Amino acid sequence: MEIMPNPQVMLVVFIVFMVTMFMLNKFVFQPLFAYMDQREQKVTSDLELVTREDNELQRIENEIHEILSHAKTQAFTAKEEQVEEAKKSAGAKVERMQNENREKMDAFMAKLQESRDSMKNELRANIGDIESLLAAKIKHI
């Protein structure tokens, strides 16, 4: 048994194939390609959006870093000013207290000198009485 190609069947098969390809192209491939193009555009637009947002985020981070650096500098400056002011205030207070203590010490030394001088004078005035008491004590021993 020999198989012979039939041109009519071949023509019908070719026509059916072409109609099938046309229908597949119209109802499957074109919508699929359109969907793939839309998907690619959406991915591209999302990527651009992410890039813009990333740039915005980087700008905001830089701005935050700049603000924090400025704030740290201001805080350090304010702290240094407060420390200097406190040192000056404490230095003035210490100097005032030292002056007061010097005045008190001078007054105490003057009073002590007066007391010493008055005791010397008193001892000189009473030296005769002390000598007689001492002689009496020695005789008694």
- Cα–Cα distance for residue pair 8/16, rounded to 1 Å: 12
Q: What is the pTM of this model?
A: 0.47
Determine the pLDDT at residue 69.
96
Q: How far is CA 126 from CA 63, 92, 112, 116, 122, in A?
A: 92, 50, 20, 15, 6
- Rounded to the nearest angstrom, the gap between the alpha carbon of residue 43 and the centroid of all alpha carbons in its chain is 40
Determine the pLDDT at residue 109.
95
Helix residue ranges per DSSP H, the chain: 7-24, 30-125, 127-140
Spell out the per-residue pLDDT of the chain, length 141, in tens. 678 888 999 999 999 999 999 999 999 999 999 999 999 999 999 999 999 999 999 999 999 999 999 999 999 999 999 999 999 999 999 999 999 999 999 999 999 999 999 998 888 888 888 788 888 888 887
- Cα–Cα distance for residue pair 132/141, rounded to 1 Å: 14
